[in-house]
Structure 1
Amino acid sequence: MRYISTRGEAPALGFEDVLLTGLATDGGLYVPESLPHFSLEEIRSWRGLSYSELAFNVMHPFVDDAIPADDFRKMLDETYSVFSHQAVAPLVQLDSNEWVMELFRGPTLAFKDFALQLLGRLLDYVLEKRKQHVVIMGATSGDTGSAAIEGCRRCEHVDIFILHPHERVSEVQRRQMTTVTGDNIHNIAVRGNFDDCQRMVKESFGNQSFLGGKTQLAAVNSINWARIMAQIVYYFQASLALGGPDRSMAFSVPTGNFGDIFAGYLAKKMGLPISQLVIATNRNDILHRFMSGNKYEQHQLEHTLSPSMDIMVSSNFERLLFDLHGRDGQAVKTLLENATKGPVSIEDYRWKHARKLFDSDAVDDKATCDTIREIQEKNEYLLDPHTAIGVRAARNCRRDSSVPMITLGTAHPAKFPDAIAESGVSVKPELPAHMADLFEREERYTVLDNNIAGVQEFITKHWKNA
């Protein structure tokens, strides 16, 4: 399996190099040169498999011979054994043909654990094999940071630097990052928003000279292909649990950076019958504005009750644009360069092609709270604000009530107590036992100005071989 850049000017790489590289040298994102495709008969034969067995079948073609099959199976068994539910990604029914898939049963209570618990093991394996050290640099709107730290903190060959927007993540999200001890873990609170943090990460990957050639950066954000690869699996899992592949499924996905829903798009291209993908956003609705009106335009970022989706520059959207433009890297590069100067659109026929699969909705804070309260009253089931946005968008955009609609439950409600309180429900979400003392643990983080030079200087001073 070879991987190519969405901007067409970087060399094709194998899985190991893509794992360590993150952003391509031309500024693009890596995607597989070709996708594996599974027949309905093959998918049907996977019914009854454990989650880790299914994950092996779906992901192994992407890894190919970079990791021996037995070693990869062992990684997957270890990755998903730490989840708190035997099904790993259990389904909860809300209505006659409406479901929530709980993707928050991992160590940090968010869907990011599915990929980042695996990514840590992949990095450890490849870096040990190469006797190489890397610096992980990542940006988080809330959940990626804690999942990355938890997944990679035991890696012997990495230093971890996670940037989060100062005072713009929930307290639980912040403490999950800043209370983890380890000499190789560094949390940076940037006086800015998530897009500022993400921009610094991308610029640093584009020019790593500040590291003096002594090490290289590795990505944990969803620009890293391994993140997308791992998220494809639970679409297959949900489908198989509800009668797939002999019936089609619809999914509603709370998304800011477009990675989680892009994984669903890939699952469909790999042979899984999916009739609809709903892009569920909050007031930071650049994806909704594009999908509903073919206009890609950045607005001022707003702070909401769903902070993990407070994103205006959706990195993984570039991967979809690459496909919509017939994998023409130059066309994608030109389009995104123009998008930094003002609103852009794509050719109408390309946009209409995307609309065959995708719908979208933007849900404000009031509607989010209303949904949390409604589901609690009718189902005695508590949603976090991001999942509530997914449920509301699913109901607003649903095309066919006979098709099962599955909302991806992206986080545990205990991570967002302020949003739960604002919704007016009487239930207070409790942290699970392994996090019961979270508010008593000592925090460690550094607040820095929204300045890339200062952030890079901090990294060069604090990685272990500096």
Structure 2
Amino acid sequence: MRYQSTRGQVRDITFKDAVMMGLADDGGLLLPEEIPRLTPGDLEVLEKLAYPELAFQIISRFATDIPSADLTELIHRSYASFSHPDITPLVHKNGVYILELFHGPTLAFKDVALQFLGNLFEYLLKERNEKMNILGATSGDTGSAAIYGVRGKENLNIFILHPHKKVSPIQELQMTTVTDANVFNLAITGTFDDGQRIVKEVFGDLQFKSLHALGAVNSINWARVLAQVVYYFYAWGEVRRQTGCREIYFSVPTGNFGDIFAGYIAKKMGLPIRRLILATNENNILARFVRKGDYSIGDVVQTPSPSMDIQLASNFERYLFYLYGGDAHRVVAAMESFSKNGSLRFDDAERKTVEEDFLALSVDTSQTLATIADFHEKTGYVLDPHTAVGVHAGQALCGGDFPVVCLATAHPAKFGDAVQQAIGCDPERPESLLGIEEKEKRCEIIAADTEAIKAFVALHAL
């Protein structure tokens, strides 16, 4: 399997090189040159597999340059840190299926990919006798998951930008209480979109990127998306066994288009997904794109679901590449236009294609809190606010003819204030969060400025 950039200037590179490159050197995002297609017979085999074996069967189709024994070991080591034997268990509540993606070390879906990516980085660096300085931005969960994925690992430093006081208190503590020598937390005086922009600008300085051996853990790294493809197959297999249904919906709370893009790749591989439901909060650029063909940025609104408080969806360019039929020149022109004007428009044929892939709904704060309260009253189950956005959208848009799987992206204890507001009591804390407020913290507050970040990285890089 070889990889190419959405912007056409990087082609014919291996999976290993794609992982190490992160953001393509031409400023685009890396994608496989072709998507493996699975037959109905393949799906019948996959639906019977336990999670690690399923992960191997999916990932190995894209990572053809990693020996099978090595890939198997990486996958098993990555998921040994999860607290549930099923890794991503599926539960049925109030007419919807909840895919619990929060049983990793930081209680968020990002662990599924970042435990794997951290081990993959260490493996590749040892193989190449190289060092890496990881740079990433987070709206909350990516940062802690990335930090836990690489803390204490050899030949790796990690620099994570988060918007100062714009993530949940637990999210902030999960990052800043990791005091390993190779971890650097940077609280920028701006928004997540500022952090994401800074990371792209730093990676766009190819001389700086090469000099300091920069690597990416944001979902601009293809390995992040690939690892998330697996749980769509897992959930489909579970629902298929329980109901016999072949087609299902997935409802995905998303701000950065990474998690739902993984579902789109699963669909292109042949997984019988009827529609992907794109659920946003008030930061609804993606929902407007699906419903109206309007991809235009606005001001970031702070909500109880802060990991989705995003206006610039970094993975959108990958979908744009497919929407434009693989025309890299159109992608470059569109991204240049968007950079200048802050908006893109789509014709009727393109909108029809989008509507065949997605349904979408924007769910506001009052609806989010009401969903948490109503779901808890009916089932006793506590949703975190991001998952509640997905549950509300799934219930609103699907009529019940086919099963709906809602992705539970975080443990409710990470967003205790929102849960308390909704149901009148705090969610029970898992053991990993007990006493976290009393732990030693380390964090640097820094301007949301590309040159300031580059100077800090240069000073502390391996």
The C-alpha deviation readout for 1:235-286, integer Å capped at 9, x for no partner, is 1001111117861110000001101000111101101100011100011100
Q: Describe the shift of the 1:220–1:331 C-alpha distance in structure 2 as closer, same or farther (beyond 3 A).
A: same
AA paired with 2:364?
D
Once the two structures are TM-superposed, the CA of residue 427 in structure 1 deviates from its matched residue by: 3.5
Aligned partner of 1:220 among 192, 204, 217: 217
The C-alpha deviation readout for 1:344-364, integer Å capped at 9, x for no partner, is 212210121110120101111
Query: Unmatched 5+ residue regions in structure 1?
Result: none
Does the 8 A contact of 2:177 with 2:439 survive in 1? yes
Distance 1:118 1:299 in 2: 34
Aligned partner of 1:237 among 234, 237, 252: 234
Does the 8 A contact of 1:146 with 1:176 survive in 2? yes
Counterpart in the other structure of 2:393: 393
SS class of match (1:408): strand
Structure 1 runs, 4 residues or longer, greater than 2 Å off: 208-211
Counterpart in the other structure of 1:151: 149
Distance 2:320 2:220 in 1: 14
Distance 2:409 2:221 in 1: 19
Counterpart in the other structure of 1:195: 193
Distance 2:115 2:205 in 1: 28
Instruction: Give TM-score scaled by structure 1 length.
Output: 0.96
Counterpart in the other structure of 2:409: 410
Once the two structures are TM-superposed, the CA of residue 47 in structure 1 deviates from its matched residue by: 3.1
Counterpart in the other structure of 1:303: 302
Distance 1:272 1:450 in 2: 41
Aligned partner of 2:128 among 112, 130, 145: 130
SS class of match (1:45): helix
Matched, 1:5 2:5: yes
Counterpart in the other structure of 1:140: 138
**Matched ranges for 1:77-92 at <5 A:** 77-92=76-91
SS class of match (2:406): strand
Once the two structures are TM-superposed, the CA of residue 336 in structure 1 deviates from its matched residue by: 1.7
Once the two structures are TM-superposed, the CA of residue 209 in structure 1 deviates from its matched residue by: 3.2
Aligned partner of 1:104 among 89, 102, 105: 102
SS class of match (2:382): coil
Aligned partner of 1:429 among 418, 427, 430: 427
Distance 1:67 1:335 in 2: 35
AA paired with 1:238?
A
Q: Describe the shift of the 1:61–1:365 C-alpha distance in structure 2 as closer, same or farther (beyond 3 A).
A: same
Distance 1:339 1:352 in 2: 21
AA paired with 2:185?
N
Counterpart in the other structure of 1:258: 257
**How large is the RMSD of aligned CA atoms in angstroms?**
1.2
Matched, 1:204 2:235: no
Once the two structures are TM-superposed, the CA of residue 95 in structure 1 deviates from its matched residue by: 2.5
Counterpart in the other structure of 1:181: 179
Distance 2:199 2:225 in 1: 18
Distance 2:429 2:128 in 1: 39
Once the two structures are TM-superposed, the CA of residue 219 in structure 1 deviates from its matched residue by: 0.3
Does the 8 A contact of 1:134 with 1:158 survive in 2? yes
Segment of structure 1 superposing worse, 200-209 or 307-316: 200-209
Counterpart in the other structure of 1:44: 44
Matched, 1:27 2:27: yes
Once the two structures are TM-superposed, the CA of residue 42 in structure 1 deviates from its matched residue by: 1.2
Once the two structures are TM-superposed, the CA of residue 208 in structure 1 deviates from its matched residue by: 4.0
SS class of match (2:359): strand
Distance 1:231 1:265 in 2: 11
Counterpart in the other structure of 1:113: 111
Matched, 1:14 2:1: no
SS class of match (2:432): helix
Does the 8 A contact of 1:184 with 1:463 survive in 2? no
Counterpart in the other structure of 1:374: 374
Distance 2:386 2:245 in 1: 30
AA paired with 2:171?
Q
Distance 2:304 2:412 in 1: 12
Does the 8 A contact of 1:387 with 1:407 survive in 2? yes
AA paired with 1:460?
A
Instruction: Give TM-score scaled by structure 2 length.
Output: 0.97
SS class of match (1:110): coil
Aligned length: 459
The C-alpha deviation readout for 1:314-350, integer Å capped at 9, x for no partner, is 0111111100100001101111211221432122101
Q: Describe the shift of the 1:435–1:342 C-alpha distance in structure 2 as closer, same or farther (beyond 3 A).
A: closer
Distance 2:79 2:104 in 1: 8
Distance 1:342 1:78 in 2: 42
Distance 2:302 2:435 in 1: 28
**Matched ranges for 1:266-415 at <5 A:** 266-340=265-339, 341-398=341-398, 400-415=399-414
Counterpart in the other structure of 2:163: 165
Distance 2:69 2:436 in 1: 37
Does the 8 A contact of 1:208 with 1:216 survive in 2? no
Segment of structure 1 superposing worse, 120-129 or 426-435: 426-435
